[in-house]
């Protein structure tokens, strides 16, 4: 039987308009996507890749710059009439009661007030908040507040429920509880919602809940992976098939830079590297840990062991692989000979090794050093480097790149930054 298409995106592209620091830079391009009735879709991707933007475009909260988006075959202007959204930050009105907050979800519906109230009370009951109708958001825990957010979205009986990292502001147990409850409402048809789309950082969360996973990555971002998840519910997180899927997704996300030049940018026809935001200290600790484990290690288990989500984890792995201290093969990470030497070295030897790798693998570090050393006082205003970088990096990226580069350069004793004079200076 042919699946019913609820929402369709064709050749969707997004560039931010003037005013923002990344104006004109394409965030999303060439997005072609059909969302079918009956599916729970999860969208994964690195931080800043455009997952939330994609969700907001589907919701009609952010306009696409070009391309076509339809709901049940009809293009829509403004808010998608068939969708409702749950936000990471709950986004409740503090001055309204729980009942009034949920009623906001019916603002655009032309229904008598008593019908609206009946619907809102039924939804409040369904999301487990019976008895809290007259409370205010600040009187509720985070988990309960997110239930209000869910109620406000569900009260309009949307065909498509959109959730933007709905659990990430909650503690582990509360999040797990809410995940199960939402899955139960969905699996057991307790809500008329025909499809759910969830943006998440959690690979395990996506595999636990979704029927289909998209990985969004690249610059501009596109859909890099579109993977069905056919494991029957309820899923056992310890089952080999579950672990293997999580593992595969970890590998795919680690390989994302092979297909998308996420770590490099071109300035005056030369490639420069965009550095992951990770400190030398975190890298050192990570390399020591890998050395301790003394074998190839499954990335998924490593993240699990430290109860880190991919968001915290990938920059460290990116840093370690970028500097040639570790390599990732088929979802396993292992130290390179340089990584082993680094982990076993003394503090001073480590600095030297770090210096060698930094100059070899981050040419920009070598160039900065050469420029500084060419000056008799070995100093240069930071604006000089900011101006060069501004030729191809969005303004918002420049301080992030320089922050990491300076922190790494300082650790390697190559160069440092004097905040007072706003100058970079060579250490030797
Ligand atoms: N309103 C806006 N104006 C200008 N730039 C924006 C706006 N919203 C987001 N961006 C930028 O667009 C890019 C994608 O952001 P988005 O929030 O969609 O990514 P994400 O994958 O959801 O990130 P995260 O996982 O960190 O939430 C980022 O560079 C972000 O800074």
State residue 306's pLDDT score: 64
Q: What is the mean pLDDT of residues 67-72?
A: 96
Kindly report the protein residue whose alpha carbon is nearest to atom 28 of ligand 1. Answer: 48
State residue 311's pLDDT score: 60
Burial class (CB in 10 A: 0-12, 13-18, 19+), 294: exposed
State residue 187's pLDDT score: 95
Q: How confident is the model at residue 341 (pLDDT cuts 50, 70, 90)?
A: very high
Least confident of 45-49, 105-109, 183-187, 255-259: 255-259
Secondary-structure class of domain 5-256 per CATH: alpha beta
Least confident of 230-239, 288-297, 395-404: 288-297
Q: How far is the CA of 312 from the centre of ligand 1 (A)?
A: 17
**Mean predicted lDDT score pLDDT of the chain:** 88
Q: Which residues contact 138 (CB under 8 A, 6 or more apart)?
A: 94
Mutate to test the pocket of ligand 1, among 48, 51, 168 (most ligand atoms within 8 A of CB): 48
pLDDT at 276 over 70: yes
Least confident of 48-57, 77-86, 381-390: 381-390
pLDDT at 262 over 50: no
Burial class (CB in 10 A: 0-12, 13-18, 19+), 151: buried
Q: How many CB atoms lie within 10 A of CB 265?
A: 19
Kindly report the protein residue whose alpha carbon is nearest to atom 30 of ligand 1. Answer: 48
State residue 12's pLDDT score: 96
ipTM given for this complex = 0.97
pLDDT in tens, 216-253: 988 788 998 999 999 999 999 889 899 889 888 887 87
Cβ of 60 less than 6 Å from ligand 1: no
Cβ of 27 less than 6 Å from ligand 1: yes
State residue 415's pLDDT score: 94
Cβ of 48 less than 6 Å from ligand 1: yes
Report the nearest atom of ligand 1 relative to the CA of 88: 27
Cβ of 217 less than 6 Å from ligand 1: no
Q: How confident is the model at residue 257 (pLDDT cuts 50, 70, 90)?
A: very low
In the 3-class helix/strand/coil scheme, how is 126-182 assigned residue by residue?
Answer: HCCCCCCCCCCHHHCCHHHHHHHHHHHHHCCCCCEEEEECCCCCCCHHHHHHHHHHH
Cβ of 357 less than 6 Å from ligand 1: no
Which residue ranges make up each domain of the chain?
5-256, 273-426
Contact status, residue 3 vs residue 38, Cβ threshold 8 Å: yes
């Amino acid at each position: 039987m042919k699946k019913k298409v609820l929402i369709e995106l064709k050749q969707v592209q997004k560039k931010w308009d003037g005013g923002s620091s990344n104006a004109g830079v394409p965030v999303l391009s060439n997005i072609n996507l059909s969302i079918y009735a009956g599916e729970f879709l999860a969208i994964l991707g690195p931080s800043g890749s455009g997952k939330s933007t994609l969700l907001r475009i589907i919701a009609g909260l952010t306009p696409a710059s070009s391309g076509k988006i339809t709901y049940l075959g009809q293009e829509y202007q403004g808010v998608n009439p068939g969708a409702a959204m749950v936000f990471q930050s709950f986004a409740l009105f503090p001055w309204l009661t729980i009942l009034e907050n949920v009623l906001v979800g019916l603002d655009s519906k032309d229904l008598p007030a008593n019908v609206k109230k009946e619907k809102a009370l039924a939804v409040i009951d369904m999301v487990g908040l019976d008895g809290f109708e007259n409370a205010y958001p600040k009187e509720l825990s985070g988990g309960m507040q997110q239930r209000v957010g869910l109620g406000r979205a569900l009260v309009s009986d949307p065909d498509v429920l959109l959730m933007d990292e709905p659990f990430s502001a909650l503690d582990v147990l509360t999040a797990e509880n809410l995940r199960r409850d939402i899955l139960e409402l969905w699996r057991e048809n307790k809500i008329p919602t025909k499809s759910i789309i969830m943006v998440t950082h959690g690979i395990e969360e996506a595999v636990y809940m979704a029927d289909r996973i998209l990985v969004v990555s690249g610059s501009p971002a596109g859909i890099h992976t579109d993977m069905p998840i056919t494991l029957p519910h309820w899923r056992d997180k310890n089952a080999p098939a579950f672990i293997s899927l999580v593992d595969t997704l970890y590998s795919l996300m680690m390989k994302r830079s092979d297909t998308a030049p996420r770590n490099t940018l071109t300035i005056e026809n030369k490639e420069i590297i965009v550095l992951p935001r990770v400190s030398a200290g975190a890298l050192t600790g990570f390399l020591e840990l890998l050395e301790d484990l003394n074998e190839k290690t499954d990335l998924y288990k490593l993240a699990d062991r430290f109860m880190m989500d991919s968001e915290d984890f990938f920059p460290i792995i990116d840093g370690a692989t970028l500097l040639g201290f570790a390599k990732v093969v088929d979802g396993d990470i292992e130290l390179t000979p340089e990584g082993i030497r680094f982990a076993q070295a003394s503090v001073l030897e480590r600095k030297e090794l770090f210096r060698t790798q930094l100059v070899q693998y981050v040419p920009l570090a070598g160039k900065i050093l050469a420029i500084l050393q060419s000056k008799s006082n070995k100093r240069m205003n930071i604006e000089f480097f900011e101006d060069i970088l501004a030729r191809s990096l969005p303004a918002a990226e420049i301080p992030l790149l320089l922050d990491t580069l300076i922190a790494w350069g300082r650790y390697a004793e190559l160069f440092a930054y004097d905040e007072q004079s706003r100058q970079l200076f060579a250490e030797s």
